[in-house]
Every structure is written in structure tokens, then in C-alpha cells.
A and B are shown apart, each in its own frame.
Chain A
Amino acid sequence: MQAILALEDGKIFKGRSFGASGERYGEVVFNTGMTGYQEVLTDPSYKGQIVAMTYPLIGNYGVNKEDAESRRPFLEGFAVKECSKIASNWRSKQSLDEYLKENKILGIEGIDTRALTLHLRKAGAMKAVLSTIDLDEKSLIKKAKHSLGLVGIDLVKQVTVDKKYLWPGIQQGAYKVAVLDCGVKYNILRELARYKCQVIVLPAEASAEEILGLKPDGLLLPNGPGDPAAVKYVIQTTHKLIGKLPIFGICLGHQMLGLALGGKTYKLKFGHHGANHPVKDLKTGKVSITAQNHGFCVDIDSLDQSKIEATHINLNDQTLEGMRHKKLPVFSVQFHPEASCGPHDAEYLFRDFIALMKKHA
């Protein structure tokens, strides 16, 4: 079956459909990771986006139970050069095609993903539509143009949990960590559990009072989809909690923290989506190869430099990758210390969080 990916600027990619059929809108972005498509698919941060993988051979090792990063895939569409017909790995439970069908996610294969990437690099991330039902190019371009896009849209509410829950495993931990589920990746929770934390996951709308009522040792603001500025309620909650308990922000959490601290965020041209971004820790001078997935960035100059300092920068484009409050127990990073998919180099940040909670316990 034919599928078409149409971009708002009129660029068309014709390919074959795999996974589910239908029509979906989203901002199209590229991810440069060579492994980890299952983690990409199940990362709730991709809500509202159509993801193109730059590595051409996807689906090789199938899909398994253990590597999911959330309860289901949230992204809008998946574009690859070649979707493997065979899934070969001792842990594989089903093929990528089956998995996407089951989860009603549209896939397109057989397109020149490198051409798409080059286009996005030059023109920037843009709105697009992926369809297997409407194959009229003009109509699709029009649809892409008129689609909502990401800016100003609260996507967190579409991925957060309904009710709070205790992450299984640790009942009585050394520390109790509250996590506001803005689209949290399971590996953040797994990492906290690995450090013997009792992890309570709350819906994103949970109030500051409700969180403090749990008497946690720390708050983790995790990753999530879309424009941080649109998630006003979390920013407000965060604002209220700053100084009251140790806070660690990751990705969207870092951006929301930036906003809560009075700063601004801006949209990057095509964002950072991959597993090979070098980030320098400004304190130690050491470089971590990090997993990244963000389209927005905190403007360090918009923050009060007497209170906030940059802790990490991206060596590729010098953008801000981490910050901390000089006095209060608050720090955050733009990249993913929980990796998954990606290298484990920045895992030390969880240790830093534990140390921070210990200090303020």
C-alpha cells in the first residue's frame, strides 16, 4: 500500500505503508540514533511528532516487552528507509510492523530519509501529514499547512497518567521521589528505583500541595512532549516548590524549570534528536555522549545570572544543556541521563540528585 509524507512547504515523499493505515498530522523531526527505535517509539516526548530515523535499516531486532519506555507509543508517525521483514533477536516478541499495527501507528518506508533529513536541516522542523488514505499531493500539503503544529499546544495532558501510582519494586526506599508525569520515560523511574528510591508518579496536573502532602525527599520533573510554555500549570506548581524540596529537571522538566525560574525558552531549528550529542560538564571539563530529544531550549541569558548558572553545554552548537540554582537545591539538564535509547555516560546525574536529597533530608 502506498503512503505519502507531505510537508507544509510542499515537499512530498512517496513510499510504502507499514504499520497502521490512516492519516495523522505532526511535526516531522529526524532522529540520528542507530539503535533504539523501540525506545523512540515509546518515548511520550514524541507526541505530536512524526519521527524519521536517519539510520536506514529499522526493525531488525523486532520489539520486546522490556524495552518499552511508556505504556504505549504516542508518536504520530514513523518514517524509515527500510522496515525489516524479519525480527532477529533472542528477546524479540513481535515484528516492528506488527507492533505498529497493534498500536495503530502509521509507518512509511522506502523514502529517501537522508533527503528528508537534509531538507529539515536546511528548512527546519516543519508540520507534515502522513497518509495512506489521501494520496492527493495538493490536498495533503494543504492539510499539513493547516495542521496545529507544536507551538503553544499543551501535549502533556495527552500523555500524562490519570491517577498517581507507585513505581513497582521499591516499597520502602531510602528516599521518596515524586515524579510529575509529563510524559516520563520509564527508564527515569527505573534509574531512581535502582538507587533504592521509592518513586511516586503523579499526574501532571497534581498541585504543589498534593506533592508536598506526600512528604517526598525530592521532586523530579521529567521529559515530555511539545512546547514547555504551554504547560502553564506545571510551571506554576514548580514555581511554588522551588526552595521547598530538591528538584531535578530532565528535558521538558529542565525547560519548565527554566520558565518557573523566570527565564524564556525558544524553539531550535530542527532540534536535537539522537544518541551522540557531546555535552561538556563545565565543572569537571569532562564530556558525556548523551541521548537527546528536544525541540526547545532554555535561553540562559534570560535567567538571573546571579542566581542561576549554566552547568552543561552542547559541544556541537554551544546551546545550554544544564543549569543549577546557586543557592537552592535545584538543577536540571536538557539531555537524558537515563539514556534509553543512548549511552549511559551521564548517569552520574542521578547520583547527584540522590546526594542533593541526602544533603537536604
Chain B
Amino acid sequence: MPKRKDIKTILIIGSGPIVIGQACEFDYSGSQACKVLKQEGYKVVLVNSNPATIMTDPELSDKTYIEPLTAEVLEKIIAKEKPDALLPTLGGQTALNLTVGLAEKGILKRYKVETIGADIKAIKKGEDRLLFKEAMRKIGLDLPESDKAYDLKGAIKAAGKIGFPLIIRPSFNLGGTGAGTAYNMKEFRELARRGLESSMISEILIEESVIGWKEFELEVMRDLKDNVVVICSIENFDPMGIHTGDSITVAPIQTLTDKEYQKMRDAAIACIREIGVETGGSNIQFAVHPKTGRMVIIEMNPRVSRSSALASKATGFPIAKIAAKLAVGYTLDEIPNDITKETPACFEPAIDYCVVKIPRFTFEKFPEAKDILGVAMKSVGETMAIGRTFKEALQKGLRGLEISHYGLDSKLSYNKIPDKKIRQRLKKPNASRIFYIKYALQKGYSTKEICALTKIDPWFIENIREIVDLENDLKREFGRNKALSLESLRKAKEYGFSDRQIAGFIQSDEISVRAWRKKNNIRATFKLVDTCAAEFKAHTPYYYSTYEEDDEVQVTKKKKIMILGGGPNRIGQGIEFDYCCCHASFALKELGYETIMVNSNPETVSTDYDTSDRLYFEPLTFEDVMNIIDKEKPDGVIVQLGGQTPLNLARQLEKAGARIIGTSVNSIDRAEDRDKFAKVLKKLKLSQPENGSASGKKAIMEIARRIGFPVLVRPSYVLGGRAMKIIYDEKTLSGFIQEAQEASAGRPVLIDKFLEDAVEVDVDAISDGKLTVIGGIMEHIEEAGVHSGDSACVIPAHTLGDDIIEVIKKNTYALAKELGVKGLINIQFAVKGEQVYVLEVNPRASRTVPFVSKATGVPLAKVAAKVMAGKTLKESGFTSEKKVGHICVKESVLPFSRFSGVDILLGPEMKSTGEVMGIDSSFGKAFYKSQLAANQNLPLKGKVFISVKNSDKRDTVFIAKKLSDMHFELIATKGTHKALTSNNIKVQPAGKINEGDTRILRLIKKGELKLVINTPSGPRGQSDMKPIRSLAVTYGVPCITTIQGAQAAVNGVEAALKGSLEVKPIQEYHKKGD
């Protein structure tokens, strides 16, 4: 069928900020959809609150709304743009839930908007667990026993009927929040209560536990002619009971016979038909009993998902792109396979390699949270590796994780780990279980024992055993012969061992092993990902490395530039850097370069095969990157856009002969190295908070004493403020030193004087070596001391005087010049009174580059890439700072609801996973929008609880007065109460929780308390109020922990009360700015 002509305008809903369970994969799918539908001639209207996405680039859609994702806002957009159709299946759970909301409110009907891809009935049937079960029973599929409950009493009754262990899942929620497993009634009561609370409709599903069963997923696509194909099959290494986002997963399925696989395929096809997903992709999960083979269907997502992104990258089949085409009426047999060109997309990819995906966790950021895994997702990113064998892919994946493992290596010595610990780490799924499997094997555990403890399939354990056995053989051979044979070396490489691991076995170093193997012609060979196992000619250069005979790369004679990506998402390094890498690739293509992308993150746009001319899906380690450089011999390598990952490789790569373009490695070092940087500042006569650096405990203490408390302590060369802390006294410092030393990994620990009550300012600028142009000056809303990635910030800097701005600009120009920056530079300043301090300089792309680009309309990363390739700023037409007539607020989004027991206070260690942008004509409105978008629903009436530290009391009076004037009811703790009443503000008193007054907690639970303002002082204040803050997060009550945040919030509420919010596409904002 040809495409539909009866629809002209299509609305696409994005997935909003990056949160755990919903990451860049939806930028990948959304951008593909925008591109495809625009190419097909439709008018595309996009809504997404996340500025760090490629999909919100103004060129990708006709109208791009960076607005909060709420039904109210969407209605305004629908009223304005009058779309004929809404495509809800590419923006994750957020888009799906919003679509259901719009339908239920009658908005879609009112404005005659048709949902394409999946209709409301299908979405509900797929999402509502009971409807889903009914549907599956109807078509004869087996399911775990289950029941639904709406209150605790009903839940307990259902539990008695089914029997333990049981899984409790709340309906209509995201990524499995609030889900858990109960082994007894006590655990059950607690989980049921929490589940009922976290469900949007106060409904939980109680289910027979299939924990420990084998877990599988199929990615299925369907078209309007009812053709259905399976794009990819996935087997979870970790069994049922661990969220698939937290599981190591493998494609294709490894341990099912064809008979069993086909049965699953039939079930998946029957499922998508019955649910009624008309067109597009769905992810369907199954569990199989390891002893009996009983297969039950677990769930289906009637939309493109994280697994679809993985499946697309694993097979080369662009699921989202095809889904968008199917949604407008094309059928699978009409769409050509991009990769082979001559065969159609109506087929099932055959892959001839093994893909391993490994989740990346960030438990070190949340020390109070346990690293135990369950049915609620906790990982913040993932890496994917391709190898010809599972062993090779697993080891590549482990080094791609960038957690300083270079394969399946050992950080602990196995004979020092007690059996009890091994058993415990194997039994309770956790972030480092894969390494404990190794330790167990080294200790002589049998496969059977390990399988019994972990419930992982013996096939995987045996393969890991082969890796461990080879490691032993290599060590033994070296012990015996004081050398390793070339045959053994080759075998080690085939098993995925890194040069670094091998060096460890033979008392050598990475560089020597590399030289030795190259000399003996043991080199990485590159193979194509082609969807068809070489059956047809492939036209898309998408490669992975292995150690075999044949190499398929055909190196061209064109001028080429390699861009190193950021690897797996983590807190501190995520989509923002991928955005920059993609932009560099687009810009360099414009200049006629062949672009080569290297990255290992399957969620991203950068690992889409049509983003760059060539894609290497490889870990970002020195060895893997150098292998590609040896092959491609690029004219330039860009390291400043992918975050800290490529930057950390820069020196080594340059030493090995790579040509790093942009800011030189020495300049990077001058900015990163504390001592050298201090000299730079001294030379330029710029101020810096007093500081020092040292490695030893004694020296660290001495520096702190010299500069005086409070001090800011942090390790060098890390991103996202890892192990960074503000310390007010010697005792705390003494306790913290070890952690800082560990995070520093041998490099010195940095100690700065902490500037209290200073305003922090972030500057992004570009320099071509001669001219430096400011991209944006952002004023942070929270005080200095809150990590810049966690604080809200605003463009333009609205409270700073012109003289201060002038100083900041001058300092920026001077620093860029002195450091010889070619490309991007990010500088953080602190303004205290009239004094401007330089806190930090990063001669690389910063997290705020996309935000600045969206706020100003200047594609900074593109301009920077052109500068790196030798163009001047003048040639790129960017010679002066862009003035904007509107206000943009960036707000960060925090994952606290995922980690129970973790306090939500902000500090110098970054904890946010994502960001949103609010854009409007005034600060109040923009801030209000940013809060709405970040799911901090600022109230317009109701009760507000205020408890602030002494130094904030004066500012609080003003805030409270405004709230009171706007008819909020105020409640405050003793000190705050006193300060407010003495200023004639009406306020009720509240006692302390530890003194027995739990009224505030009750008000939160009852949903009466609408806002918490709590700025705690010192450790005691922090712990007193912790229960209130935690409960507020659990119940979705906005909780503001800084006085500046509270001020901004009050401004926002005031603006929102004055008039309803308006929506406007960024294309119009940017036009106005010209």
C-alpha cells in the first residue's frame, strides 16, 4: 500500500528527560521518525521537553516544541497545530501514557486527531495487565498465575490463593518502579502497600513468581497487511527476576532449539495480532522453565522500546525508521532494506556474530543504596559489544563498560574472598555478579553449583569457564616458558582478551603486547553488520572487530575525521555528549570529510549507521580505538566532544601516532592538572578560590587547615563530581579522605576553599585559536557547591550586573587564548559579591552545549567541529554572541525515587540523570515550565511546609510572604516559624519528627501537603528532615532544598497564577532572536 495521503500533519511525542528506564534510545527512535516522516513530505510537529536530544534540533521537524509533556500543554499544541495524526509509539512509556491521557480527556476526539501505529484500545490491551492476560488466554498462551488488587485486603487474599514467592507490580508506571518480589507475608504487605501507592491508578498485579526461569525477548514488527516479522531474538543471561534493563542480554537466543524458538515466534506473532498493534514494533517477553520447558508470556510493549534500540543496533535493522514508515501506510515488502538496498525490509535478519549488552550501574553515587538487583530497573546506561563468539563479545563488553575492567579481569584476588561472600554475591543478583562468577570458577566451583546459585544457564557459565581456563593456561605457559607462543596469543585475542589483560599475565605492558602482536601480524580484523549474514552485498559500513582471517573494511582515499563517542551513559556523561558527537559528524560531512564514529552505546543516535559515513561499534579503550586508527588512518581524531571518556585517551592516542585535532593534548592537561592550571590563572591574574592538592592524608589535612573550612574535596580527572564533597570540619574530612583517594586512582586529591553563598556561572564558548565567541552564559539558580549538572540554570544570566558579565567574558577570552583552545571551552565561575572566581576550566564540550544551542539557535557543536577541522569562526559565520529575547531555564531530573533510602540533598557530586528546558518570555514562566517538565508539579494552592537553616531565614521571609499573599497555607518548624511570625506572616507551627510530631508525614501521605521547602544545615539538620524529604519524593511532592530554588519556584508559581501558559515552537523563538 502506498503512503497515506489523507493525513498531512503528524504530531510526535518525545520521551522527555533521561531517567532510569527511559534514556537516549527514544531520542534515537524519535529522530528517526521525524527524519523519515519529513522526508515523506508530512508536516512534523514534535513535542519534547528534553533539549539535549537530536530530535529537538530545529531542522528535524517543521515545528519543534520544547515544552513540558503534560496533557494540558499538549492540548494547547494540538489546538494550535491541528495535527491529523498522533504517532505515540516512539516516545517510550511517557508518550504512550500521555496519549492515553489525551484520549481519556476527549482531547483527541475534540480535535479529530487519529492515533497511528497503535490505537488506544491496543495500547490499553498491551499495558493493562489484566486485559493483557485475558487477551493472551483467549489465544491459548500460557501465563503465570495472577490476580489484581486495589487495596491491601484484596492483595492479601490474592497472595493466599497463588502462593509464594510472588511478584508485585503496580499498573501504569515506568520501568518497573515499585515492583518487587515477596517470599513471605511480611515482605508482601510492605511491597503491596508501596505498589498501590506508586501506581498511577492505585492498582497492583500479584503474580506467580517465575524467578529463576530463563528469560527471552522477541522484537516483532507488523504492517497494515498483517505481515509480521521477528527482527531480533534476545536471551537474558540473567534469569527472570532481574529487570531486563539491568540484565546482561545476548542476541540472538543461544539455548533454544529451533522447535522451541519457533513456538515462541508463533506466540509473539499471535500476541501482536491479538493486542492489535497495527503497525510498528513491539517487544514481547517470555519466560521458559529451565527443566520442563514450560513457556509463559510475560509482557509486551506495544511500542518501540529500549530493547528495540538494542535490536536495531544488534542486527542493523532500523526498527524505528521502519515503524514510522509503516505507521503512514507503507507495508514491509514495499520498503527496501537500507543495508542491502536490493532486498526488502520484509524479512528476518540473520546475524553471524554474537551480541552482548551489559548494563552500567552507578551505585557508587548513592552509597546508601544497596547494589542488589531486582525487578525495578536501576542501571543508568548500557554498552553493547559484538564478537564472533560469546566469549569475545562478553570481554569486549566488559571493557566497554568503562569501569576500569579490561575484560573479565580480576580486581580482587579470588583466594582472599571467603566462600560465604562468593555464595552471597552469586545468589543475590548484583552489579558485580559477573566477576564473582569468575572468582567462583577460580576457586573451583562446579558449573552446577554456580548455576544453582545464580540460575544462569550452564551454557553461559561454561563459556565463562573457558575464558578462565584460558587465562590459567596462559599464566601457566608463561610460568613454564617465560614466554607465550604466538598460537596462545592468537587464541587469547580470539577469546576477547585485551592487550592489557595479556600484559598482566606475562609481566609486560599494554604497549609492548600491542607491538609484539602487530609485529607478528595478529591484528584486529573488521567485519560488517549487514542484516543477512553475508548472503547479500551490504552497502552500509557498520563494523565490529574480531580476530579472524578476513577483513572487510575498504579504506577510502577521502579526507577523514574520526569522532570518539562517550560510551555507556552514566550520571555525568550522557546524551548531551552524544548530541555533540552527532553534530560534529553532520558538520564535517557538510565540509566534505568522511566521518568515522566510534562508540559502544546502543541507545544513541551516534551509533545509528546513517549518522556517520562509517560506524565502528567498539569499546572506547586505547587498544580498540588504535586498532581502528591503524586501519583507517584518519586525518584527525576528535576527543573533545564525547565527555571524559575520549579525553582520557587523548594523550595515549597521540603518543601512539594519532592526530588529535582541536585543542591540543597539552592544553587539555594544563586545564586539568591543578598545579599547571594554577600557574595559568596566576599568569592571567585571575582569581581562584584558595586551594591545594596532595595525595597523602597528612598533607590533605594540612592544606585544609591552611585554607580554612569549609573546603571542597575532590579527586582529579573525573566527571560528574564523583567523590566530591563540601566538608565543614576536620573530623568529616578525615573520614572522607580514603574515598577521595580511591576515586582519584593514584592521582592527587584536590582541596578548594568552598565559597559559601556564591552565585555559580557556567560559560560555553568556542575559540578558533584567534577569535573566541561566547555561546552562552548561564546563571545557576542553586548556589555554588551544588554540582553544575544538578542545578537549574538560566539563560540569559538574569541577576548579574553588566560589569560582572563583562569580567566573565574577558576572563573567558583570556583563558581560551592562553590555553590555545580550538573548539569548545566550558568555564565555571563563582561570583561572590563583586569578586569573580574561576572554579574550573574544561577545554571540551560540556553538558550544557545542547541546552545553549537550543536556547540560542546556534549549533555550537557543529561550529566547534568545523573549527577543529581548520575553519575559522568567521568562515562559519559565528563571530559574535547571540542575544536572546526570551528566557530559557534548564532543570535537572534526579533519580531518587529509584533508590530507596537515599537522601535527596544536592551537593557537589552529580546525581541527576537528565534535564529539561523551560522556555518563555519571563523568568517566572520559564522556570514554572521547567519544573512542570521535570515532574516537579509546583502547586498553585494548598499547604507548604518550610524549614530552613539560620542563614536562609532572612530570605525565607520574602518567599513566605509571597506564598502567603498567594493564599498558600504555611507550616514551619520552630526556628523558621519564629522568623516568619515576627514578620507578621501567618504560619502554623510544626514539631520535629524525632520529638514525635509526625503531622507533616501524615499530610504528605494524605496528599494535602503540596510543597516542601527545606534547606538543612550541617549533618544534624540533614538527618532530622530526611524522612520528610524521602516521603515527599515517594509521593511526588516537590521538595526544594535550596533557598535560591525556593525563590525561583515562588516566581514560577506567581507567573503561573497570573495567566495560563503559552506554547511556541523554538523555530519562532530563534527567528525572533535574529
A residues at B contact (CB < 8 Å): 30, 32-36, 38-39, 54-57, 60-61, 64, 66-67, 81-82, 84-86, 88-91, 112-115, 117-118, 121, 274-278, 280, 285-287, 289, 315-317, 339-344
Contacts and interface: CB of A to CB of B under 8 A. Distances in A.
A276 B347 contact: yes
A21 to B, nearest CB: 22
Nearest to B292: A90
Contact of B389 (A56, A280, A287, A289): A56
A55 B352 contact: yes
Tell me the interface secondary structure of chain A in the complex: loop
Given A32-B535, A57-B254, A57-B389, A114 B459 contact: no
A86 to B, nearest CB: 4
A344 B260 CA distance: 12
B549 interface: yes
B462 interface: yes
A117 B344 contact: no
B351 interface: yes
Contacts of A64: 257
29 contacts: A30-B535, A33-B258, A34-B351, A35-B257, A36-B257, A36-B258, A55-B351, A55-B533, A64-B257, A67-B258, A67-B259, A82-B388, A85-B462, A86-B463, A91-B257, A91-B293, A112-B549, A114-B550, A115-B548, A117-B533, A118-B552, A121-B534, A121-B537, A274-B350, A275-B350, A278-B344, A286-B226, A289-B229, A340-B258
B1027 interface: no
B347 A115 contact: no
B479 to A, nearest CB: 25
Interface in B252-270: 252-262, 265-266
Contacts of B261: 35
B258 A84 contact: no
Interface string B280-313: 0000000000111100000000000000000000
B352 A82 contact: no
B894 to A, nearest CB: 42
Contact of B256 (A89, A278, A315): A89
A56 B386 CA distance: 12
A81 B349 CA distance: 19
Q: Of residues B254, B459, B552, which shows the largest number of chain A Cβ atoms within 10 Å of its Cβ?
A: B459
Interface string B347-362: 1111111100000000
A35 to B, nearest CB: 4
Contact of B225 (A66, A81, A285): A285
A130 B529 CA distance: 29
A57 B229 contact: no
Given A90-B293, A114-B548, A287 B255 contact: no
A81 B389 contact: yes
A25 B59 CA distance: 60
B277 interface: no
B226 A117 contact: no
Interface of B: 225-227, 229, 233, 252-262, 265-266, 290-293, 332-333, 342-344, 346-354, 388-390, 447, 457-459, 462-463, 466, 527, 532-537, 548-550, 552
A55 B262 contact: no
Contacts of B462: 85-86, 88
B344 A114 contact: no
A66 B533 contact: no
B548 A112 contact: yes
B258 A341 contact: yes
B254 A85 contact: no
A324 to B, nearest CB: 21
Contacts of A66: 259
A82 B496 CA distance: 14
A110 B466 CA distance: 15
A34 B350 contact: yes
Contacts of B333: 278, 280, 287, 315
Nearest 8 CB-CB pairings of A with B: A36-B258, A115-B550, A341-B258, A88-B459, A54-B533, A86-B462, A32-B350, A35-B258
Nearest to B223: A287
B441 to A, nearest CB: 14
Given A112-B550, A317-B343, 8 more contacts: A60-B254, A117-B533, A118-B534, A121-B537, A276-B348, A278-B346, A315-B333, A316-B344
Contacts of A117: 352, 533-535
Contact of A57 (B292, B348, B390, B527): B390
Q: Of residues B257, B262, B466, B537, which shows the largest number of chain A Cβ atoms within 10 Å of its Cβ?
A: B257
A344 B262 contact: yes
Q: Of residues A85, A276, A280, A315, which shows the largest number of chain B Cβ atoms within 10 Å of its Cβ?
A: A276
Contacts of B533: 30, 32, 54-55, 114, 117, 274
